[in-house]
Structure 1
């Protein structure tokens, strides 16, 4: 969440930057709300000071033996002041709530490093890594491959839960688990992340702190009512970041690097008709998430670090991909700068998103109340970053498609063999086991 004072200090600069992502900032309205809050706080302070003086006058009058009617009048004045203070405090609460409600809807200020534009067509390509495989035959998509092998069953998934769910079977389930285990081993063993197992249900304040609420209410799955009103997480970014809500972190402990493998739940509101075939866009999918918390001045460098970690997953698997920098108007609500990694899908003859790595600056930390303190006790701001490292379903689709053979078999990337126990899937889905 933004600091209203900082937005007002930036003034037209804040208006310009937010306009790049399609948001029209009403500076006059923001200033009016901020002034209302300041005036209300000032009024409470004045009334409290007056009440303190009135209480002193009552005490003096009682001690000096003043007539009872004078003492009673002073007491009545003190009571009236207390009533006025309660009313003024209610105005402070109302003013703060109105200002907070507005600030929660304002997206992060985009970095000037983000190109202009509001669609994927406006993204800037940064690099391509690996050559898309030349198959020499008409490529099948991951659905054809998976269903022919019997390792992917979308029909039974639909019977269980409706559209946009999947069931994997036998070697397919093993492959999913192998991908997650490989990613976690890579990030914890080589990249220095600490692995967490986190709740999949979180509170509304947790969702608000990390920026999912109120903006993305329609994209979330909600369960329960009243005191047990909880939300299914759309990504492990939410609990991993919110673990430090309302905490002060020692500067010397930064940066912190966290990872977790969780299911993710998204209603995909507004995306109907896009990627409805296969496992590219599901209501429930699993993902290994990366989160970094660092000093605010280090976030840009930390974004490059995280991006390299996500890229390493694809490099180790030998999958062709490219990196793009998203346009200001196409970034997520929380981000000030985002890189997307897109993996090559032969069946579509194009690159498709497999990871987003975002620098959120101090945006989420302010919303969640995460700060830092150095050895001398000086307080500071922290920045948060998040990225996919990687989603299991989309990576599985890329493996099946890029590693398919003309006879219908699939060769498993060497990096996964220790985790799968097989090097190849035959056309009927039979795994070609590693013989030790």
Structure 2
């Protein structure tokens, strides 16, 4: 907990609340038993007075059960709220510390140096983006993407989706709105010392009892939800999907020169890789996702580096996480363009993503039957979930414009994108 920059006292609060829940459940069961005994004795009463005494006693037990049940429900909610703040376990090879402790895995390409323009100057010169008008319409850190900027975004989406499909990821268009409980179950719960990045959604037509909704911060959330409360068969794993969606982040940085323009915004398009696997498969899938990400960034001609992220940068759900940073000449620094994480069974336990061991079918002679409750522990296991950014569009646009700019103000367009842009141009200008 401390190594991941979480309140380590939380684990003790969870343990304490869990003990309280167990005791209250025992109390409810005991009180119910006592009430049943009294109810049975009512028929044996010798007169009306004794009968009324026993009826009053049964009512008293009923009231105690009601009060204790209310207390139990409240304690369970408190336990769940506290438990959601506990992060996943950490891979033993993960560096310990803050962002500065990230371990360099490899660097591909050499950073471009010399006199260059930043992406905002290039994009505005080509009439690709409009922040000023968007600020009047919506607010700061929102933007209009226009003209060749639109075609570039669509080309990046098409390219990423097709590359993922070629690697056996099934395409999905998930909803942008999810239940807040699903987001929290995925680990998108702010630390208790931090403000939430989630946009909550409500309308006057929603009933008070309706589950609260929010805008998804990443397609990882609805893609995980695609498998929630499902019992999968081991023979069908891994399941790999690629989803395109919009991502919404309420917190959009501090407006520094390093974060100007498209680098940190409230809404952006994103192609996300997601996989559900058995525990034995997840390490290999993490490597596969990372290899696919690198292959795409090499196709785009970007200089990038892969970092094994330290404990304080893992977030709640990640057991291990690799970030990919591209060199962004306009700010003369590296900028994160992608990440991939193995979340092990952290999300699966919270959202009920399980699988039946293939040995069970052999045990029952190949029949499709339900796993009996009394042997579920032996045959049913929690899945592992993994995710990776295939294409975070705005930051890739930054890296492309700044990396491939020419002295005349035009920008070289990588071959892998040209077929999705009208006229199949070799440059943007």
**TM superposition score category, shorter chain reference:** 0.7 to 0.9
Corresponding position of 1:55: 39
Instruction: Report 1:355-374 matches (<5 A).
Output: 355-374=338-357
Q: Is the 8 A contact 2:85 2:316 kept in 1?
A: no
1:81 positional shift = 2.0
Q: Is the partner of 2:261 in helix, strand or coil?
A: coil
Corresponding position of 1:195: 171
Cα distance change, pair 214–68 in 1 and its aligned pair in 2 (3 A): farther
Q: 2:88 aligns with which of 108, 113, 121?
A: 108
Cα distance change, pair 162–248 in 1 and its aligned pair in 2 (3 A): same
Identify which range, 413-422 or 267-276, moves more after superposition. Answer: 267-276
Identify which range, 253-262 or 267-276, moves more after superposition. Answer: 267-276
Q: Which runs of 5+ in 2 are unaligned?
A: 361-370, 372-378
Corresponding position of 1:400: 401
Q: 1:221 aligns with which of 199, 203, 221?
A: 199
Whole-angstrom distance in 2 between the partners of 1:222 and 1:182: 32
Corresponding position of 1:15: none
Q: Does 1:255 align with 2:238?
A: yes
1:270 positional shift = 5.6
Cα distance change, pair 31–284 in 1 and its aligned pair in 2 (3 A): closer
Q: Is the partner of 2:125 in helix, strand or coil?
A: helix
Whole-angstrom distance in 1 between the partners of 2:137 and 2:59: 65
Corresponding position of 1:89: 69
1:20 positional shift = 0.9
1:331 positional shift = 2.0
Corresponding position of 1:146: 123
1:271 positional shift = 4.0
Corresponding position of 2:363: none
TM-score normalised according to structure 1 size: 0.85
1:190-248 deviation line (CA, Å, top 9, x unaligned): 21111111211222222222222454763122232553753211111111111222222
Whole-angstrom distance in 2 between the partners of 1:344 and 1:273: 18
1:339 positional shift = 0.4
Whole-angstrom distance in 2 between the partners of 1:92 and 1:400: 58
Cα distance change, pair 76–158 in 1 and its aligned pair in 2 (3 A): closer
Identify which range, 325-334 or 210-219, moves more after superposition. Answer: 210-219
Whole-angstrom distance in 2 between the partners of 1:371 and 1:197: 23
Q: Is the partner of 1:419 in helix, strand or coil?
A: coil
1:69 positional shift = 3.7
1:136-169 deviation line (CA, Å, top 9, x unaligned): x512211122222222333333333232122222
Instruction: Report 1:376-415 matches (<5 A).
Output: 376=360, 377=371, 378-415=379-416
RMSD: 2.3
Q: Does 1:281 align with 2:257?
A: no
Q: Which runs of 5+ in 1 are unaligned?
A: 1-17, 430-436
Instruction: Report 1:314-325 matches (<5 A).
Output: 314-325=297-308
TM-score normalised according to structure 2 size: 0.87
Q: 2:162 aligns with which of 165, 185, 190?
A: 185
Q: Is the 8 A contact 1:104 1:214 kept in 2?
A: no
Q: 1:46 aligns with which of 23, 26, 30?
A: 30
Q: Is the 8 A contact 1:114 1:327 kept in 2?
A: yes
Whole-angstrom distance in 2 between the partners of 1:234 and 1:223: 13
Q: 2:310 aligns with which of 327, 347, 365?
A: 327
Corresponding position of 1:434: none
Q: Is the 8 A contact 2:190 2:197 kept in 1?
A: no
Whole-angstrom distance in 1 between the partners of 2:405 and 2:161: 25
Corresponding position of 2:143: 166
Corresponding position of 1:341: 324
Corresponding position of 2:374: none
Corresponding position of 2:19: 35
Q: Is the partner of 1:181 in helix, strand or coil?
A: helix
Cα distance change, pair 200–295 in 1 and its aligned pair in 2 (3 A): same
Q: Is the partner of 1:98 in helix, strand or coil?
A: helix
Corresponding position of 2:365: none
Whole-angstrom distance in 2 between the partners of 1:364 and 1:234: 16
Whole-angstrom distance in 1 between the partners of 2:47 and 2:257: 83
1:272 positional shift = 4.3
Identify which range, 79-88 or 395-404, moves more after superposition. Answer: 79-88
1:88 positional shift = 2.1
1:422 positional shift = 2.2
Whole-angstrom distance in 1 between the partners of 2:322 and 2:180: 28
Identify which range, 392-401 or 368-377, moves more after superposition. Answer: 368-377
Whole-angstrom distance in 1 between the partners of 2:26 and 2:255: 50
